[in-house]
């Protein structure tokens, strides 16, 4: 597949050399119409996507947020009962700037069904939808989710341009490295459709009987013995029925891929302040760079809040002085934990907790610095850990404030 060289995205050029990621500048940039959040599992990517979408809406953008994460966390974060394959308004968006927020979750099979129904005649659509091979492919075949994510993103982008309902699409991708598999969906689809096996199946289905040479007949007979005659027949019927649809699928997926390379798109890589998560983030950044995708920056979630005051070494030294005091030792040997001895013990314990936190802050800072040294053009936003889980719009607003802080 030929991949076009993209124009450098505005956020990649304007923010790439800056150490701090300006989230509000990203959200306010009307030239950016798609924000894709990607990252490994468990780093707060879904919450980040929802917080960005809400903040953008309350700053005047018309936003739809799409999750393809099967864990269904986005509905909870937005304070709604459920999400489905249709964008639905999120109530409670504040502000008088005219912004709106819709949310949806990708239903892989429903999206595939809608494509078939839209592209085929009613008779052919029914034949495809009832085919056992299609049922398996549309619900569980490896790579189908990523391809349908490309289709849904393309649909949303088309609808946005046609109706003006949205001017920003925020995409929350699946966890782990499979989050970038959707970049390969068009190429994998092309390889599948252009493969020798598919051409072999199409030969007897598309052509007259005279095209069934002895060689093709021998191969199909062998395949029938291996997979079963009925399975092979279902597969042939499915490929024949879908042959006219595949070209359109492939072209739209390619168009969506090219959209991701343009200045209209910004990728945010989300990570936690942990070695494994930052290694995954480095993988995402390098892969996106190799695919010539515009990277807006890195979001590091759940960082340990920095405390003012004593360093870790000073806190440990103070705790040791308290614990070595004669009255502390006397109280400990007698089993007493009252009065000044108890207070000293509590203070020493708190000092050690403070030292542990300061060491954690230092360790996280060093890991971020190593990442930044390896990827100096990637801007970074650091979001401190919250004391409670995010489960409503107020919580998302707090995350948005921290992202923009």
Residue 311's alpha-carbon distances to 34, 71, 317, 350, 358, in angstroms, are 43, 40, 10, 13, 7
pLDDT value of residue 127: 86
76-85, 270-279, 382-391: least confident range: 76-85
pTM of the model as a whole: 0.80
User: Edge-to-edge, what's the strand order for the sheet holding 265-271?
Assistant: 88-89, 100-105, 62-67, 168-172, 34-38, 265-271, 295-303, 380-384
More confident site: 231 or 30? 30
Q: What percent of the chain has pLDDT over 70?
A: 73
Chain centroid to CA 297: 14
52-56, 85-89, 177-181: least confident range: 177-181
State the Cα–Cα distance between residues 166 and 102, nearest whole angstrom: 9
79-83, 274-278, 299-303: least confident range: 79-83
Residues 279 and 43 sit within 8 Å (Cβ to Cβ): no
pLDDT value of residue 73: 72
List 103's β-bridge partners, or say none: 65, 88
Nearest to 143 by CA among 194, 103, 184, 175: 184
Q: Where does the pLDDT of residue 138 fall: very low under 50, low under 70, confident under 90, or very high at 90 and above?
A: confident
Q: What percent of the chain has pLDDT over 90?
A: 37
Give pLDDT tens digits for 281-328. Answer: 999 999 999 989 999 999 999 999 877 778 888 888 888 888 887 765
Q: Find the mean pLDDT for residues 246-252.
A: 71
More confident site: 354 or 59? 59
Q: What angle do CA 371, 178, 382 make, to 5 degrees?
A: 30
pLDDT value of residue 86: 92
Residues 216 and 200 sit within 8 Å (Cβ to Cβ): yes
DSSP 10-56: HHHHHHTT-SB--HHHHHH-TT--EEEEE--TTSSHHHHHHHHHHHH
Q: Find the mean pLDDT for residues 183-202.
A: 60
Name the average pLDDT for the chain.
Answer: 80
3-state SS assignment for residue 264: coil
Q: Find the mean pLDDT for residues 248-258.
A: 78
Q: Find the mean pLDDT for residues 77-101.
A: 87
Q: Where does the pLDDT of residue 216 fall: very low under 50, low under 70, confident under 90, or very high at 90 and above?
A: very low
pLDDT value of residue 151: 85
State the Cα–Cα distance between residues 401 and 59, nearest whole angstrom: 12
State the Cα–Cα distance between residues 386 and 138, nearest whole angstrom: 39
State the Cα–Cα distance between residues 320 and 313, nearest whole angstrom: 11
**Residue ranges of the domains in the chain?**
10-124+139-182+246-304+385-404, 312-364
More confident site: 384 or 340? 384
SS (H, E, C) 44-100: CHHHHHHHHHHHHHHCCCEEEEEECCCCCHHHHHCCCCCCCCCCEECCCCCCCCCCE
pLDDT value of residue 370: 94
pLDDT value of residue 158: 92
List 384's β-bridge partners, or say none: 303
pLDDT value of residue 222: 47
Give pLDDT tens digits for 139-173. Answer: 776 667 777 888 899 899 999 999 999 999 999 98
Q: Find the mean pLDDT for residues 370-375.
A: 94
Q: Find the mean pLDDT for residues 59-75.
A: 85
The pair of structure tokens assigned to 56 is 């953008």
Residue 24's alpha-carbon distances to 27, 53, 60, 77, 234, in angstroms, are 5, 11, 12, 21, 53
Q: Over 60: is that where the pLDDT of 1 sits?
A: no
More confident site: 205 or 187? 187
State the Cα–Cα distance between residues 284 and 215, nearest whole angstrom: 46
Q: Over 60: is that where the pLDDT of 206 sits?
A: no
Residue-level length of the chain = 405
Which CATH superfamily includes the segment(s) 10-124+139-182+246-304+385-404?
P-loop containing nucleotide triphosphate hydrolases (3.40.50.300)
pLDDT value of residue 3: 43
DSSP class of 328: H
Q: Find the mean pLDDT for residues 109-119.
A: 87
pLDDT value of residue 12: 40
More confident site: 119 or 71? 119
pLDDT value of residue 256: 83
How many Å is the Cα radius of gyration of the chain?
28
pLDDT value of residue 40: 85
């Amino acid at each position: 597949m030929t991949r076009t060289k993209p124009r450098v995205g505005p956020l990649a050029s304007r923010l790439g050399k800056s150490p701090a990621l300006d989230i509000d500048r990203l959200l306010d940039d009307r030239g950016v119409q798609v924000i894709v959040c990607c990252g490994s599992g468990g780093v707060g990517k879904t919450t980040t996507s929802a917080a960005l979408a809400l903040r953008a809406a309350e700053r005047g953008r018309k936003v739809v947020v799409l999750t393809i994460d099967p864990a269904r966390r986005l509905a909870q974060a937005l304070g709604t009962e459920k999400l489905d394959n249709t964008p639905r308004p999120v109530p409670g968006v504040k502000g008088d700037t005219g912004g709106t927020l819709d949310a949806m979750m990708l239903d892989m099979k429903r999206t595939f069904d809608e494509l078939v129904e839209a592209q085929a005649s009613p008779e052919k659509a029914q034949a495809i939808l009832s085919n056992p091979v299609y049922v398996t492919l549309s619900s569980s075949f490896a790579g189908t989710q990523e391809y349908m994510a490309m289709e849904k993103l393309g649909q949303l982008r088309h609808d946005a341009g046609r109706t003006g309902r949205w001017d920003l699409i925020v995409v929350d991708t699946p966890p782990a490295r499979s989050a970038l598999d959707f970049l390969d969906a068009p190429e994998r689809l092309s390889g599948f459709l252009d493969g020798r096996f598919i051409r072999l199946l199409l030969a007897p289905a598309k052509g007259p009987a005279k095209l069934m040479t002895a060689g093709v007949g021998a191969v199909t007979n062998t395949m029938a013995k291996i997979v079963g005659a009925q399975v092979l027949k279902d597969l042939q019927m499915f490929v024949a029925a879908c042959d006219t649809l595949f070209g359109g699928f492939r072209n739209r997926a390619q168009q969506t891929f090219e959209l991701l390379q343009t200045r209209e798109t910004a990728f945010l890589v989300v990570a936690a302040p942990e070695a494994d998560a930052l290694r995954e983030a480095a993988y995402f950044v390098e892969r996106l760079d190799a695919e010539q995708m515009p990277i807006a920056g890195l979001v590091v979630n759940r960082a340990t809040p920095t405390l003012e005051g004593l360093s870790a070494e000073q806190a440990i030294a103070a705790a040791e002085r308290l614990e070595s005091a004669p009255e502390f030792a006397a109280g400990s040997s007698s089993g007493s934990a009252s009065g000044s001895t108890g207070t000293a013990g509590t203070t020493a314990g708190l000092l050690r907790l403070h030292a542990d936190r300061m060491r954690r802050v230092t360790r996280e800072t060093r890991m971020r610095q190593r990442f930044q040294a390896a990827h100096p053009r990637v801007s970074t936003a650091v979001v401190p850990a919250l004391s409670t889980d995010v489960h409503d719009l107020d919580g998302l607003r707090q995350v948005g404030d921290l992202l923009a802080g």
